C-alpha cells in the first residue's frame, strides 16, 4: 500500500502522527511499520483514486492450453501397460479437443516415461510440477505410484493413478485417486468365484512388487470368509523366465487351482510352462492380465484361463440395461477403430482418468485446487464402470464392477458366475 497516497492532507498526517505516538507509548513490542499499516487501513481516504481498480474490474479469463501431466512406463518391463495407458489417455484428450476443448481451451497432455523405475517417476513428477500442470495421470507401475504419492500432497497436485495398489488410496490422501479396481475388490470377486466353483484348496504364485503384494495380502485376509485355504505360496521376480520349481511344488501340493498375482510379461511364460508341464487344474489371474497383451501373446495356452477384469473388458456382453453401457461401448469402439484391437485394462484406466479431470475442470475450473475439490464428490462412468468418489473413498468402484472372465480363443468372455450377477 502507498501510505503517502492514502492519508490525505498534511493536517491529517499531523493528526495521524500524534495518534500513533500515543499508541506507541501504550503498546510495547509493536513496530512502527505495523502501526502505520493499521492506521492506513482504518483511516478514510480523501482520494477517489484510492479505490483499487481490481475491486471493480473482473479478473481476466485464463487462455491457452490446460496442461495435464502423465507419468507412465514407455520402457522397461511395464512398456506394454504404459503404451496402452498412453493410447487411452490420448484418445480421451483427442475427443475433448476435437469438441472444442473445455471452455474453449484445449488440453495439452505432457507424457513422461518413468522407465518402470520409481526413482525416475519421482523425477518426472517434479518436472511436470515445474511445467505447470494442473493434474497428473499415472503412474501405471504400482511401485512408481507409491513413490510419487507424497509429492502429490507436497505440491498439492491432484493425481489419478493408473496403478492398482490399494495403499495408494488407503488411507485416503486428499490429492490421490486411482482408476483400476482395487486389489481388494478384485480379490473379493475372485474368492467369490472360487466359492462358486467349490475351490477350497488353493495355491498362489506371485511377484513381489507393490501391486501383487497388495492383492495377495487382501486375498489371504479374506480367504477364510469364503472357505478358501491356501496350501502353497510361491514367489517370483517381475522378470522371471523359469517357473519349473514353483509349478512342480504346486503340482505336489494337491491344490485344486492356482491363483497368480503379477503384472508383467512373466505371466505369459508361467502360463505356457503350466501347460507344458501337464497341469490341468484351473489357472486364475488378476485384472492385470485382462488384456490382449496377455491373451494374444500366450496364444492357445491361455484357453480356459480365468481372468478378473474391469466391467469394460466384457463390453460386448453387457446387457442393454447395464448402467453406463453406452459410455463403455463408445470408448471401446473408438479405441478399436484407432488401434485395431480391443482396449486392455490399462487403456480404460488412463482414458477414464483424463475424463475425470476434464469433468472436474468443467465443475470447478482449471486449477489444481478446483480439480481436487470436484474429484472428492464426483460420480462418473468411464470404461472401467461407474465411480462414486467421496472424501472417504478415492477408489470409487465396488466389487460388482469387477467381472470374472474366461479366455476363449483370445477374447475375454463372462463366466457363468458373472453372467448370473449381470442378470444374464
Question: Domain for residue 8, yes or no?
Answer: yes
Burial class of residue 45 (count of CB atoms within 10 Å of its CB; 0-12, 13-18, 19+): middle
Question: Domain for residue 43, yes or no?
Answer: yes
Which runs of consecutive H residues, i.e. helices, occur in 27-139?
32-42, 79-98, 118-130
Which runs of consecutive H residues, i.e. helices, occur in 139-265?
142-155, 183-196, 210-222, 244-253
Say what the pLDDT of residue 210 is: 86
Say what the pLDDT of residue 263 is: 81
Task: Print the domain residue range for 23.
Answer: 3-55
Say what the pLDDT of residue 251 is: 97
Rounded Cα–Cα distance for residues 31 and 291 (Å): 68
- Total tally of structural domains belonging to the chain: 1
SS3 for 159? strand
Total-model pTM: 0.80
Question: Domain for residue 218, yes or no?
Answer: no
Cβ 290 vs Cβ 267: under 8 Å: no
Say what the pLDDT of residue 342 is: 94
Say what the pLDDT of residue 58 is: 52
Whose CA is closest to 345, among 396, 293, 303, 397? Answer: 293
Rounded Cα–Cα distance for residues 148 and 152 (Å): 7
pLDDT along the chain (424 residues), means of 10: 37 39 37 35 36 47 90 95 97 98 97 98 98 98 95 98 92 97 96 98 94 95 98 95 98 98 91 97 95 92 96 94 92 96 94 98 97 98 94 95 96 96 82
Rounded Cα–Cα distance for residues 150 and 301 (Å): 41
The 10 Å CB-count burial string (b at 16+, else e) for 93-131 is bebbbeeebbeebebbbbbbbbbbbbebbbebbeebbee
- Report the chain's C-alpha Rg in angstroms: 28
Say what the pLDDT of residue 20 is: 36
Amino acid at each position: 500500500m502507498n501510505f503517502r497516497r492514502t492519508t490525505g492532507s498534511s493536517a491529517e498526517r499531523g493528526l495521524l502522527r500524534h495518534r500513533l505516538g500515543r499508541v506507541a507509548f501504550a503498546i510495547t513490542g509493536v513496530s512502527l511499520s505495523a502501526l502505520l499499516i493499521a492506521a492506513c487501513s482504518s483511516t478514510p481516504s480523501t482520494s477517489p483514486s484510492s479505490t483499487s481498480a481490481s475491486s471493480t474490474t473482473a479478473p481476466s479469463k485464463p487462455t491457452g492450453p490446460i496442461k495435464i501431466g502423465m507419468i507412465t512406463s514407455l520402457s522397461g518391463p511395464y512398456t506394454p501397460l504404459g503404451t496402452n495407458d498412453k493410447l487411452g489417455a490420448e484418445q480421451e484428450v483427442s475427443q475433448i479437443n476435437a469438441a472444442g476443448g473445455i471452455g474453449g481451451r484445449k488440453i495439452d497432455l505432457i507424457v513422461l516415461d518413468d522407465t518402470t523405475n520409481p526413482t525416475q517417476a519421482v523425477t518426472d513428477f517434479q518436472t511436470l510440477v515445474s511445467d505447470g500442470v494442473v493434474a497428473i495421470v499415472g503412474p501405471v507401475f504400482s511401485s512408481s505410484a507409491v513413490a510419487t504419492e507424497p509429492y502429490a500432497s507436497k505440491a498439492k497436485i491432484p493425481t489419478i493413478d493408473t496403478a492398482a495398489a490399494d495403499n495408494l488410496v488407503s488411507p485416503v490422501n486428499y490429492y490421490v485417486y486411482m482408476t483400476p479396481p482395487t486389489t481388494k475388490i478384485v480379490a473379493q470377486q475372485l474368492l467369490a468365484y472360487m466359492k462358486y466353483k467349490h475351490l477350497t484348496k488353493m495355491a498362489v504364485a506371485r511377484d513381489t512388487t507393490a501391486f501383487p503384494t497388495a492383492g495377495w495380502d487382501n486375498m489371504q485376509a479374506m480367504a477364510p470368509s469364503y472357505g478358501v485355504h491356501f496350501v502353497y505360496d510361491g514367489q517370483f521376480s517381475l522378470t522371471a523366465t523359469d517357473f519349473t520349481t514353483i509349478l512342480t511344488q504346486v503340482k505336489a501340493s494337491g491344490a485344486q487351482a492356482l491363483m497368480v498375482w503379477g503384472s508383467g510379461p512373466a505371466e505369459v511364460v508361467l502360463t505356457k510352462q503350466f501347460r507344458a508341464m501337464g497341469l490341468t487344474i484351473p489357472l486364475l489371474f488378476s485384472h492385470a492380465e485382462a488384456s490382449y497383451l496377455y491373451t494374444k501373446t500366450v496364444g492357445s495356452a491361455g484357453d480356459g484361463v480365468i481372468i478378473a477384469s474391469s466391467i469394460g473388458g466384457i463390453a460386448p456382453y453387457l446387457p442393454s440395461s447395464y448402467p453406463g453401457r453406452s459410455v463403455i461401448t463408445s470408448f471401446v469402439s473408438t479405441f478399436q477403430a484407432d488401434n485395431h484391437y480391443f482396449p486392455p485394462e490399462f487403456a480404460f484406466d488412463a482414458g477414464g482418468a483424463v475424463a475425470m479431470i476434464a469433468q472436474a475442470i468443467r465443475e470447478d475450473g482449471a486449477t489444481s485446487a478446483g480439480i481436487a475439490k470436484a474429484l472428492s464428490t464426483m460420480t462418473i462412468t468411464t470404461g472401467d464402470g461407474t465411480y462414486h468418489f467421496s472424501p472417504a473413498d478415492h477408489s470409487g468402484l465396488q466389487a460388482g464392477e469387477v467381472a470374472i472372465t474366461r479366455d476363449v480363443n483370445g477374447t475375454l468372455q463372462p463366466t457363468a458366475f458373472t453372467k448370473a450377477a449381470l442378470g444374464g
